[in-house]
Structure 1
Amino acid sequence: MTEVQSKATSNDRRALWQIFTAAFIVRVLYILLAHTFKVRPSDDHFEFGWEMGRIGRALATGHGYADPFTGHTGPTAWVPPGYTLLVGGVFRIFGVYSKLSAFVLLTFNSLLSALTAVFCYEIGLRCFNRRVALWSGWLWALYPAAMQYAVRWIWEMTTTTCIFTALFVLTLRMRGVGDQKQYEQTWQQWAAFGLLWGVLAMVNPSPLIMLPVMALYILAAPFFSSTILKVRIGKATLAAVLFLAVIAPWTARNYAVFHRFIPLRDNFGAENYEGNSDWSTGFPWGRTVPLENHQILAEYARMGEPAWAADRAAKANAWIKAHPGRFAKLSMKRAWMYWMGVPKSVEEAGILEYLRLMSFQFLSLCGILGAALAVRRRKPAAWVFLSAFLLLPLPYYLVTVQARFRHTLEPLICILGVYLFQSATHRKTVA
């Protein structure tokens, strides 16, 4: 390694430490100064983690993995256990729905969000240049929209985003993007690939739609030959085994409890019915299981969660089949809102709401244009970026949409937006 390369590596490490530290401190200070650890106690503290908070309470009070809504409704697989077990453990140690528990969980979110800034830096450095890396890392560290879910939401978005971004980094490393020398993928890297995808599946299965894309991108790395392909397939098989090993205990638990195959979660039918039915407008207002509707809650408890969700899935599928035109319009409306923002109710509208939507739309447009530019200029991993933009939103187009669902993509949007403006500045300077 030359002296220049050694200095660059030292500068990178210093920059990463500065970005991470600043990001973490800013987030924790916000939690303390804005008192976001004081969660509103409405609906018996339902906003404290929503279904995950309810299940966490059941775990902490000895009722097992159960009761995602109101009262003791029985076992559940409504959400996978990755983040929910963390909530239950924190409740057990620091108190159910306590301010201290909220602070601990939000601080954990902030730690992962700060780590995501580090991953943004590495992606920018490997795929583009150091200038893009620096701006991407600092933008994620300090831009308010990038930290909102870490400091305000006790939910899995920040964890999902951090793990997915880490997997993107791992994919680039295994492909050799940004390395001066090509190194063959190791067994350890493939093991980490399988384990990380397994952990992500246990937190939020939706990003699994990108698993085949990333795996194929790694398998097709340079220095490709039939012999090397066989070795890589062997390593990929190890990753698959480890992935299944991570999710197998949860799947086995679900089969033992519900006597049916539920790999990760069983709420899709209920969500689909909420998004595609006679009263659906495309907007995500309302809850899948209204807490104030005792009749629906009683039906849910009586039928059992899997049967109740399957019944709603059948109703949703029948409605979609009978109303294909309206389903298409709803899907297009949800696609628009995924990228352009989900408006709040009329009562909540105001100047801040318009500014929020403008910021949301601006970032989406920058990310999309940056992805198009990266593909046009044949930048490394450009098609992986584009695949994420095309595939990750698909379930939300078809079922339901919330602003928070875009968060998994936002590190990539951040990097590509910086690349877009950096390219324009560079072109102007050259001219």
Structure 2
Amino acid sequence: MSILSTRQHPLTQPRSLLALLFCLACGLIAWRGSALPFIDEREYLGLAQNLLAGHGYIDADSRLLTAYRPPGYPFLLAGLQALTPSVLLPKLLNAFFLLGIGLGLRHLTQQLLRGQTTPQTPPLPSLLSPQQPAVAESATIWLLLASPLAIYTSSTLYPQIFGSLLLVLVLCLLIQPPHWGRVCLAGLLYGYLILTIPSFMYIAPFCALYLWWRGSQARPDWRSTARTVLFTFAVLAVMAPWTYRNWQTLHAFVPVSTNGGVNLLYGNSENTRYNTGGDLDIDAYKKIGFTLSEIDADRYYRQAAIDWIRQHPTQAVELYVGKWLNHFHFHNTLYTDGQTSLISKLAVALTYYPLLLLCLLRLCYRREYPLHAMEKFILVLYVMNACLSAIFFTRLRFRIPFDLLLIPVAAIAWQITWQRYQNKRSNRTA
């Protein structure tokens, strides 16, 4: 009998699987210890330590006020550093964040199984019968356990796990029937998500559009528009203090960070390849950029990238397509982590591509089991993120929050496939 055919088996109990996930993350954190091998980790920690020391948000090298790194994660680290200087505490907190992600994804899966409260998308009663327990709930945690990138990143001081938790919480709020309080809280969380990972700023309009569309489907009146405005206002309210700080200290309009220009240049220059990233040699540009202020350097890098795209339109289009395809690759060559083992590459490939295949299978089932509005939204977000990432450059860790969002969709496909198999089996024995 399959381990997913009964709730009595520990490996089908979501609570047992979540405990296993937490222990696995804690074990990896203990094994890696306080090592910070990546440059980004050390810079985030340095910003947090400067904040705690009362120096302000300053660059560790230049000792000048900066907005190069987004502030969301350093502010969180600063609060933890106030408790203890050890980096093990924020890493351990990542394990709790990962646990929260598991709980949030399980909640999303439950809501997808129940369906919307609108006539257009009824619930899926055949997937919720007492005779056929909801395999999807266990599958959700299993798919999270089979996410080596997420589990490994939880042992680092990267903001992706914290950002993933914020994103999952936002969607858990948006999937509920529209309510003023939930909408406001979703906006506040999303605003802090943008301060943590600025690329989510480009996806915010899609969240607002989904909220408006969901409300108009349920009850088409002024309330759906008002809730959308409230969500947008809450997002901007969280961002506003930081944007104002940048205006006052850097004398420029900087919504979140000043690294957009250099990231655009990393992804669009004469030396850029479809799989290159922050390790690209752009020293010729940096020689000029280092002589400029942070704001002027950001503008210089951005204009240099735009000029290259205008001068090489065909090459830029080919490069964009290559970067878009590379977004779905299972490996990145990084100069910061040395040689990546073959086992780690295989682990990512053997877990990522089955996740995509399950999502494609869910699309194949859409006529028999109509897609929930949130499933459509998640799939649209995933494709849009690939399109936006290819404008700059692609990295596996940038993809983590969106990979995790696919898990509930894949879990529903797993549930449907299991149910169909059980039904055929029962018909044979009848």
For the pair 1:37 / 2:37, whether they are aligned, the reply is no
Show the 5 A alignment for 1:31-430: 31-32=29-30, 34-40=31-37, 47=39, 49-67=41-59, 71-95=61-85, 100=86, 102-128=87-113, 130-141=134-145, 143-151=147-155, 153-174=156-177, 185-221=178-214, 224=217, 229-287=221-279, 300=289, 302-344=291-333, 348=339, 351-359=342-350, 361-370=352-361, 372-373=363-364, 375-376=366-367, 377-381=369-373, 382-430=375-423
Q: Which amino acid in structure 2 is aligned with residue 120 of structure 1?
A: L
- Find the counterpart in structure 2 of residue 9 from structure 1: none
Q: Which amino acid in structure 2 is aligned with residue 308 of structure 1?
A: A
Contact 1:198 1:244 survives alignment (8 Å) = yes
Superposition deviation, residue 247 in structure 1: 0.8
Higher deviation after alignment, 137-146 or 316-325: 137-146
Contact 2:192 2:238 survives alignment (8 Å) = yes
Q: Matches of 1:285 and 1:221 in 2, distance apart? A: 37
Superposition deviation, residue 217 in structure 1: 3.0
Q: Matches of 1:357 and 1:139 in 2, distance apart? A: 12
Q: Matches of 1:163 and 1:358 in 2, distance apart? A: 26
Number of aligned residue pairs: give it. Answer: 390
Contact 1:219 1:229 survives alignment (8 Å) = no
Q: Which amino acid in structure 1 is aligned with residue 71 of structure 2?
A: P
Superposition deviation, residue 28 in structure 1: 1.4
Q: Matches of 1:115 and 1:278 in 2, distance apart? A: 43
Q: Which amino acid in structure 1 is aligned with residue 179 of structure 2?
A: T
Task: State the structure with bigger RCO (CA 8 A, min sep 6), 1 or 2.
Answer: 2
Q: Matches of 1:411 and 1:215 in 2, distance apart? A: 21
Contact 1:367 1:414 survives alignment (8 Å) = no
Contact 2:170 2:186 survives alignment (8 Å) = yes
Superposition deviation, residue 408 in structure 1: 0.9
Q: Matches of 1:147 and 1:274 in 2, distance apart? A: 28
Q: Per the alignment, do residues 194 and 365 of structure 1 end up closer, same or farther by CA in structure 2, a change over 3 Å counting?
A: closer
3-state SS, counterpart of residue 49 of structure 1: helix
Q: Matches of 2:181 and 2:300 in 1, distance apart? A: 44
Higher deviation after alignment, 76-85 or 311-320: 76-85
Higher deviation after alignment, 362-371 or 155-164: 362-371
Higher deviation after alignment, 245-254 or 386-395: 386-395
Contact 2:136 2:414 survives alignment (8 Å) = no
Identify, as 1 or 2, the structure richer in helix: 1
Identity %: 19
Q: Equivalent of 2:22, from 21, 24, 35?
A: 24
TM-score by length of 2: 0.81
Superposition deviation, residue 299 in structure 1: 5.1
Higher deviation after alignment, 159-168 or 373-382: 373-382
3-state SS, counterpart of residue 328 of structure 2: helix
Q: Matches of 1:125 and 1:263 in 2, distance apart? A: 36
Contact 1:156 1:203 survives alignment (8 Å) = yes
Q: Matches of 2:92 and 2:205 in 1, distance apart? A: 33
Contact 2:274 2:320 survives alignment (8 Å) = yes
What does the per-residue CA deviation read over 1:72-126, in whole Å, with 9 as the maximum and x for residues that have no partner?
A: 252211122111112233344433xxxx2x2111111111111100111111111
Q: Matches of 1:79 and 1:363 in 2, distance apart? A: 34
- Find the counterpart in structure 2 of residue 177 from structure 1: none
Q: Give runs of ≥4 in structure 1 deviating > 6 Å.
A: 295-298
Q: Per the alignment, do residues 313 and 48 of structure 1 end up closer, same or farther by CA in structure 2, a change over 3 Å counting?
A: closer
Superposition deviation, residue 374 in structure 1: 5.7
Q: Per the alignment, do residues 104 and 225 of structure 1 end up closer, same or farther by CA in structure 2, a change over 3 Å counting?
A: closer
Higher deviation after alignment, 214-223 or 197-206: 214-223
Contact 1:199 1:246 survives alignment (8 Å) = yes
Contact 1:289 1:296 survives alignment (8 Å) = no
Contact 2:159 2:197 survives alignment (8 Å) = yes
Superposition deviation, residue 49 in structure 1: 1.1
CA RMSD of aligned residues (A): 2.9
Q: Per the alignment, do residues 271 and 221 of structure 1 end up closer, same or farther by CA in structure 2, a change over 3 Å counting?
A: closer
